[in-house]
Structure 1
Amino acid sequence: MTERKITASDFQDYTVEFVPFRDIKPSPENTDLYGNTHDEQQLKDLVSSIERRGLDEPIIVSADNYVMSGHRRRVALRRLGIHLVPVRRKSISRAENRGEWPRILAEYNTQRVKTPGMLLREALLRRQPDNAVDLLERHRERSRESITANFTPVNRPKEIKPISKAKKPFLKAVKKVVDEMVEFWPLTVRLIHYQLLNDPPPIAAYQRSSKTAEDLIYRNDRKSYEALIKLLKQARYFGEVSMSAIDDPTRPQKRNAGFDDVKDFVDQEMSGFLNGYRLDLQREQPRHIEVMGEKNTLLNILGPICTDYCVPFFLGRGYCSTPVWRDVARRFKQSGKSEMTLIVASDFDPEGLDLAEDAIASLRELWDIPVDYHRLGVTRDQINALNLAADFNPAKDTSTRFKRFVRETGSEKTWELEALPPAYLQKQLCAAIEANMDMEVYEAAIEREEQDAEELRNIRSELMQDLSC
């Protein structure tokens, strides 16, 4: 392989020449792009700096002498009465690139400290329009493919029986639990089950039979749990419990649909335009923090707290695979921090305790991350202090971790995360996150985020006014 010889022409753009101040012209587009950036105090500071140290960086100008980078330096030099200005000249000219000039200016000012408004204008200039025609054509090509479908007739009836009068007390207790936890919707059946155990209702009204009233009380067993599943199904179909109140996170769904018309699309785009800004509140924190949950039922409980603090949150659904640890390691490296805390929420059972240890070992040994471990729940202290109801399923003796679990805990009993009240779990997570943070730095970031959000609101308001004209 032959190497190309470097010549003087390769450094042509780095050559500094001196040009009379009167010949250097500001780019009119600079004001449209960045607004009036001539803050008086900043200009005074810049003038003072040039007086003390000289001009560290020459002004960059186009072939036809328009400033590409250095508008503030130009103003400062004018105040100092400088007649010959050091510049680096580019071969590109404004006259031949009028339509592209704002975008070119943005490319030559990446080092500038910018407000959200400046960043927005730059982003709009860099945005290339999607080729909607090509996208639609590819979609239509797929639609033209010949497909043969065979339909099988189904004549089986499906009926949901009404809730009997005898189950009304049971229904009342269930509705009370569901309504009290509305902030955590959608709930899981498992979560409702454990809340019912705090004040067990009768599964059915007592009638003279071979069963006693005590036999009909809701218990921590499979029979009661299956009765709850059946009742919740009836309650939702007959409008006693909202369909939105309960979800099955183990069966994800995806809605693929288009828009009714252009107006529908524009309305959706504008409703979210410049909304939802969040500053990374963890960027200046001393430690990298992440939260790991064992199961999907934690999403609506721990997820909002992690969002508030800008802390990464992931669900293992059991033991995590290699891609999960790869992504955690990548986030830790990108954070630029030297230490990490992993907060883990898992069941108190052989797998739940072991997977937390496996997580720490994986990060320490396989990814060389100095990570500390904080167990959010379930813990032995929580079991005792809150008198948590054990899972009606004991630890499985077929598990390879069964013997160790029994040896270390002294029992085959297990406890699920759903036994912990959601509000309690959220409070514990807040405390765990804040224990690993510098709260003064956090409060300063919150204040800056509010200032940025206010500026974005003003920009959005101005744009809406312009569009209405």
Structure 2
Amino acid sequence: MVILKLELERSKRSNWVWTKQNTARSVDIMKVLEEFKEYLPMTERQIFYQLLHYTDAPHWQRQYEGKTGQVDVYAALGRVLKWMRIDGKINHDVVIDEHRIITRKEGYTDAESFIDLKLKYLDYGYSRCMAQKQPRHIEVWIEKAALLSLVKPVADEFCRRVIVRKGYGSITFQTQFYARAVEAMGYGQTPTILYFGDWDPSGENMIHAAMQTMKDELGLDGIDYYRCGLNPEHFNTIQKNPVPIKNSDRRSKKFIKNHGTTAYELDAMHPEKLKTLVRDSIMKFTDMGAYDENKAQEVEESRWLVDITKDIKNYAREKFNHG
């Protein structure tokens, strides 16, 4: 086996300078980060859509052949954000990169540290499954991995799964859902999909492709599918400068015929509006009476666990002290 140790090979890069233009752009970015600080970290795409409030300003324009036009805001944003972090103007962790996955390092210092960590979980780790006694098996499907951090806490309130459906789902994905759906039907529940995706040729078609595979090719019927967003009624809540239709998408012709030439991305929705939309959509298909019963039971069980936890901790400490 040959493993090569690499030496740095530099490519040509232009030097970064904090010009008046770049400084003015950074001020606009700081305004966005301050306004949305409770939703941090955000992706560059999310910041981009909120930044569009400010891009009519001169420092987001450029002169070309005697004409004034807007710069590529997304590209400019990426460059300014990079140097804002390198130069310490903002913390590195305010921007998240959802495409780079880091696995967790396994292992504990020793057995005592392992027990200590597990005992800490007993203080706050219990929550009752709120999906019990419900007539529907609800899953929240979202097109954008970047929005998982916003959507998951809302779905967790109701003990519902969030599935990131980036692109068209593979047959592996479909058969995994098939198994969950069949299991739910066995409990007398109706599998119910709440879908949130872009309003564009692919985003509009993806859920229908999944429905067709499930019914025609896997032979499973009895599933309810709902497109909860983006839908036309949400467009007036989204920032200006919607996305142009991609000519490379073979579904564009049909989409334009049915819906026009404008597309919108789910990322453009205000984070709080998206969370509210997800919560309202789940509640629409949730028996809130059964939900409240589970909540009341959770409170009683939590009180009981406090006493049990004390006994377990005392037992563990005694064992370690006399071990």
* TM-score bracket for this pair, using the shorter chain length: 0.7 to 0.9
Alignment of 1:345-424 (within 5 A): 345-365=196-216, 366-383=218-235, 385-386=236-237, 388-392=239-243, 394-411=244-261, 413-424=262-273
* Deviation for aligned residue 1:264: 4.1
Instruction: In structure 2, give the amino acid aligned to 1:431.
Output: D
SS in 2 for 1:204: helix
Distance 1:171 1:201 in 2: 15
SS in 2 for 1:272: helix
SS in 2 for 1:342: strand
Distance 1:285 1:356 in 2: 24
Distance 2:272 2:199 in 1: 19
Distance 1:461 1:169 in 2: 57
Distance 1:456 1:421 in 2: 39
- The alignment's C-alpha RMSD in Å is 2.8
Conserved 8 A contact 1:390-1:416: no
Residue 156 in 1 paired to residue 6 in 2?
Answer: no
CA shift in 2, pair 1:310/1:257, >3 Å: closer
Instruction: In structure 1, give the amino acid aligned to 2:198.
Output: D
Q: Write the deviation string for residues 384-436 of structure 1: whole angstroms up to 9, x where unpaired.
A: x32543444x222332211110110122x211111111110110111111111
* Deviation for aligned residue 1:274: 6.1
Instruction: In structure 2, give the amino acid aligned to 1:378.
Output: L
Distance 2:172 2:316 in 1: 45
CA shift in 2, pair 1:228/1:460, >3 Å: same
Distance 1:465 1:250 in 2: 44
Q: Write the deviation string for residues 133-171 of structure 1: whole angstroms up to 9, x where unpaired.
A: xxxxxxxxxxxxxx7643232263989746344433321
Residue 292 in 1 paired to residue 146 in 2?
Answer: no
CA shift in 2, pair 1:160/1:433, >3 Å: farther
Residue 278 in 1 paired to residue 130 in 2?
Answer: no
Distance 1:273 1:404 in 2: 54
CA shift in 2, pair 1:423/1:205, >3 Å: closer
Conserved 8 A contact 1:319-1:355: yes
SS in 2 for 1:233: helix
Find the counterpart in structure 1 of residue 83 from structure 2: 234
* Deviation for aligned residue 1:198: 2.8
CA shift in 2, pair 1:419/1:155, >3 Å: closer
Distance 2:56 2:18 in 1: 16
CA shift in 2, pair 1:417/1:178, >3 Å: same
Find the counterpart in structure 2 of residue 188 from structure 1: 43
Find the counterpart in structure 2 of residue 341 from structure 1: 192
CA shift in 2, pair 1:200/1:458, >3 Å: farther
Distance 1:205 1:361 in 2: 45
* Deviation for aligned residue 1:267: 3.6
Alignment of 1:449-468 (within 5 A): 449-468=298-317
* Deviation for aligned residue 1:263: 4.8
SS in 1 for 2:78: helix
* Deviation for aligned residue 1:444: 0.6
Q: Which runs of 5+ in 1 are unaligned?
A: 1-146
Residue correspondences, number: 312
Distance 1:467 1:263 in 2: 9
CA shift in 2, pair 1:367/1:446, >3 Å: farther
Structure with max Cα Rg: 1
Conserved 8 A contact 2:132-2:294: no
Conserved 8 A contact 1:302-1:426: yes
Q: Write the deviation string for residues 224-250 of structure 1: whole angstroms up to 9, x where unpaired.
A: 111100011111112222211111112
* Deviation for aligned residue 1:256: 3.0
SS in 2 for 1:344: strand
Find the counterpart in structure 1 of residue 26 from structure 2: 171
Report % sequence identity.
24
Conserved 8 A contact 1:296-1:317: yes
CA shift in 2, pair 1:322/1:426, >3 Å: same
Distance 1:462 1:433 in 2: 38
Find the counterpart in structure 2 of residue 25 from structure 1: none
Conserved 8 A contact 1:173-1:201: no
Q: Write the deviation string for residues 3-51 of structure 1: whole angstroms up to 9, x where unpaired.
A: xxxxxxxxxxxxxxxxxxxxxxxxxxxxxxxxxxxxxxxxxxxxxxxxx
Q: Write the deviation string for residues 309-328 of structure 1: whole angstroms up to 9, x where unpaired.
A: 11111011111112222222
CA shift in 2, pair 1:177/1:463, >3 Å: same
Decide which moves more: 172-181 or 414-423: 172-181
- For normalisation by structure 1, the TM-score amounts to 0.60
Find the counterpart in structure 1 of residue 117 from structure 2: 268
CA shift in 2, pair 1:238/1:367, >3 Å: farther
Conserved 8 A contact 1:290-1:342: yes
CA shift in 2, pair 1:199/1:205, >3 Å: closer
Q: Which runs of 5+ in 2 are unaligned?
A: 319-323
SS in 2 for 1:460: helix
Distance 1:421 1:449 in 2: 32
Q: In the alignment, which of 274, 279, 283 is matched to residue 430 of structure 1?
A: 279
